[in-house]
A and B are shown apart, each in its own frame.
Chain A
Amino acid sequence: MSDLTTSLYVFMLAAFIGFEVIRRVSPLLHTPLMSLTNALDAIAVVGAIILVGERKSDLATVLGTIAIVAATSNLVGGFIITDRMLKMFKSSKPKKP
Chain B
Amino acid sequence: MTTPLVTEQAIQVVYLIASGLFILSLKWLSSPATARHGVWAGELGMLLAIAGTLLYRGIVDYTWIAIALVLGTIIGVPLGRVQMTAVPQRTALSHAFGALCVGLVGTAEFYLRTPRIPPFMMAVLSAEVILGSLTFTGSLMAAGKLQEILPQRPITYKGQNIVNISLLAIAVAVAAYLVIHPDSTRLFPLMVVIPLLFGVLMIVPIGGADMPTVISLLNSYAGLSAAAMGFVLDSKLLIIAGALDGSSGFILSVIMSKAMNRSFTNVLFGAFGQVQAAAAAAQEARTVRSATAEEAAAILAASNAVVIVPGYGMAVAQAQHKVRELFDTLTKRGVNVTFGIHPVAGRMPGHMNVLLAEADIPYDKLLDMDAINPDFPQTDVVLIIGANDVTNPAARKDSTSPIYGMPILDVDKARTVMVIKRSMSPGFAGIDNELYYLDKTLMLFGDARAFVGDIVRQLSGDGHA
Contact with A along B333-353 (1 / 0, CB 8 A): 000000001010000111101
**B29, B226, B358 — which one has the most chain A CB atoms within 10 A of its CB?**
B29
Determine whether the beta carbon of A41 is less than 8 Å from that of B64.
Answer: no
Determine whether the beta carbon of A69 is less than 8 Å from that of B98.
Answer: no
B288 within 8 A of A: no
Determine whether the beta carbon of B247 is less than 8 Å from that of A15.
Answer: yes
> How many angstroms between the C-alpha atoms of A72 and B49 in the bound complex?
13
B354 within 8 A of A: yes
Determine whether the beta carbon of A11 is less than 8 Å from that of B239.
Answer: yes
Determine whether the beta carbon of B72 is less than 8 Å from that of A69.
Answer: yes
B100 within 8 A of A: yes
> How many angstroms between the C-alpha atoms of A4 and B97 in the bound complex?
27
Given the known inter-chain contacts A11-B239, A36-B42, please indicate yes or no for A27 contacting B353, CB distance below 8 A: yes
B5 within 8 A of A: no
Determine whether the beta carbon of B104 is less than 8 Å from that of A43.
Answer: no
Determine whether the beta carbon of B101 is less than 8 Å from that of A45.
Answer: yes
Given the known inter-chain contacts A37-B26, A39-B42, A50-B58, please indicate yes or no for A70 contacting B72, CB distance below 8 A: yes
Q: Chain A's nearest CB lies how many Å from the CB of B359?
A: 9
> How many angstroms between the C-alpha atoms of A59 and B61 in the bound complex?
15
Determine whether the beta carbon of B59 is less than 8 Å from that of A85.
Answer: no
Q: What is the chain B residue whose CB lies nearest that of A28?
A: B353
Selected contact of A17 from candidates B38, B90, B244, CB within 8 Å: B244
Which residues 190-235 of B have a CB within 8 angstroms of A? 215-216, 219, 222-223, 226-227, 229-231, 233-235
Q: What is the chain A residue whose CB lies nearest that of B40?
A: A83
Given the known inter-chain contacts A53-B58, A53-B59, please indicate yes or no for A10 contacting B97, CB distance below 8 A: no
Selected contact of A89 from candidates B67, B71, B357, CB within 8 Å: B357
> How many angstroms between the C-alpha atoms of A17 and B349 in the bound complex?
21
Determine whether the beta carbon of B365 is less than 8 Å from that of A65.
Answer: no
The B interface is mostly helix, strand or loop, or mixed, namely helix
With a CB–CB cut-off of 8 A, which chain B residues contact A4? 120, 231
> How many angstroms between the C-alpha atoms of A27 and B352 in the bound complex?
11
Which residues 38-96 of A have a CB within 8 angstroms of B? 38-57, 59-61, 63-93, 96
Selected contact of B65 from candidates A15, A43, A68, CB within 8 Å: A68
With a CB–CB cut-off of 8 A, which chain A residues contact B62? 53
Q: Chain A's nearest CB lies how many Å from the CB of B174?
A: 20
Determine whether the beta carbon of B69 is less than 8 Å from that of A72.
Answer: yes
Q: Chain A's nearest CB lies how many Å from the CB of B146?
A: 13
Q: What is the chain B residue whose CB lies nearest that of A12?
A: B243
**B35, B238, B360 — which one has the most chain A CB atoms within 10 A of its CB?**
B35
Given the known inter-chain contacts A7-B239, A64-B108, please indicate yes or no for A83 contacting B348, CB distance below 8 A: no
Q: Chain B's nearest CB lies how many Å from the CB of A71?
A: 4
Determine whether the beta carbon of B32 is less than 8 Å from that of A26.
Answer: yes
B278 within 8 A of A: no
Selected contact of A19 from candidates B46, B245, B251, CB within 8 Å: B251
Given the known inter-chain contacts A33-B350, A53-B62, please indicate yes or no for A46 contacting B237, CB distance below 8 A: yes
Determine whether the beta carbon of B94 is less than 8 Å from that of A74.
Answer: yes
With a CB–CB cut-off of 8 A, which chain B residues contact A3? 234
Given the known inter-chain contacts A40-B25, A70-B97, please indicate yes or no for A22 contacting B251, CB distance below 8 A: yes
Determine whether the beta carbon of B105 is less than 8 Å from that of A53.
Answer: no
Selected contact of A57 from candidates B111, B231, B236, CB within 8 Å: B111
Complex A-B: 19 CB contacts under 8 Å: A21-B30, A28-B350, A29-B30, A33-B29, A38-B91, A38-B94, A44-B226, A47-B230, A50-B53, A50-B58, A52-B61, A53-B60, A64-B108, A70-B104, A71-B98, A77-B90, A78-B80, A86-B35, A96-B33
Identify the 9 closest CB pairs spanning chains A and B, nearest first: A72-B72, A80-B80, A76-B76, A53-B59, A30-B350, A18-B247, A92-B362, A77-B79, A68-B68
